[in-house]
Amino acid sequence: MKILFSPSEAKTAVSPNKFIDRNDFVFPNLYEKRCEILKIYDDFLQTTTVEKISKLFGVKKLTDEPSLRESLFKKGAVKAVLRYDGVAYKHLDYRSLDSAAQEFIDKNTLIFSNLFGPVTAADMLPEYKLKQGERINGLNLEEFYRQNFSDEIDEWLGDDDILDLRAEFYEKFYRIRKPFATFKFLKNGKVVSHYAKAYRGIVLRQVAKNQVKNFGELCKMDIENLRLIDAKKTGLKSEFLVQIV
């Protein structure tokens, strides 16, 4: 099974003495395409005002210091699954998983970074900031990555079953072209967004611990505090409605 996942605004600040290069990314044949965006980002930070950087980052009252404009290529990189530190990643709690579950996540999870594009959980990322939906000099990053990476993602997915745990925004980076499953989380009969990030992380954790290979095994998987109440199929999408109990 392959899992599609979202990044997070929150990042860890860890910066080891390891810098990004072609071999750190899935789809190495498209490394130059990634670098087009990374260099545009770097150039923007080098040449623009602090006010515009604040808008790009979604952060107020930045101080104009060298670290603010540091190149992505000179920052230490760690696994994407360890770089991201938002709610979903805290509930995934990757470090506490055994080596088999970690390897499952590394090999089978594709994260849609709004700056780096599609990366596996094991791909190496430096710390960076980019507010969801912001554009660099008007460049539509979602469209860029969708146009340039979709065929490679299709090939990476192969014939595996697909679990899409992305937030809706990240669907813009890649449109799934074969049958896939999603989860919708309900509490007291209403769809909840507040809990969704946490439970996406929990679902990925359980999928990895159970080494889930297909939709059949996914349907049988027990997840604490979640109860399957319905399943709906619309086009290519099979949506599992689960009640938070």
pLDDT in tens, 77-126: 999 999 999 999 999 999 999 999 999 999 999 999 999 999 999 999 99
Segments making up each domain of the chain, as ranges: 2-244
The pLDDT of residue 34: 98
Q: 195 or 31, which is more confident?
A: 31
Choose the weakest-confidence range: 63-72, 120-129, 229-238: 63-72
Closest CA to 157 of 184, 173, 177: 177
pLDDT for res 101: 99
- For residue 83, what are the CA distances in angstroms to 103, 131, 155, 190? 16, 16, 26, 32
121-161 residue pLDDT tens: 999 999 999 999 999 999 999 999 999 999 999 999 999 99
SS3 per-residue string spanning the chain: CEEEECCCCCECCCCCCCCCCHHHCCCHHHHHHHHHHHHHHHHHHHHCCHHHHHHHHCCCCCCCCHHHHCCHHHCCEEEHHHHECCHHHHHHCHHHCCHHHHHHHHHHEEEEECCCEEEECCCEEECCCCCCCCCECCECHHHHHHHHHHHHHHHHHCCCCEEECCCHHHHHHCCCCCCEEEEEEEECCEECCCCHHHHHHHHHHHHHHCCCCCHHHHHHCCCCCEEEEEEEEECCEEEEEEEEC
Q: Which residues pair with 78 in a beta bridge?
A: 125
**Given this model, what pLDDT does residue 111 score?**
99
What pLDDT shows up at residue 65? 81
Residue 125 has which token pair? 């990322």
Q: Is 48 a residue whose pLDDT tops 90? A: yes
Question: Residue 224's pLDDT band (boundaries 50, 70, 90)?
Answer: confident
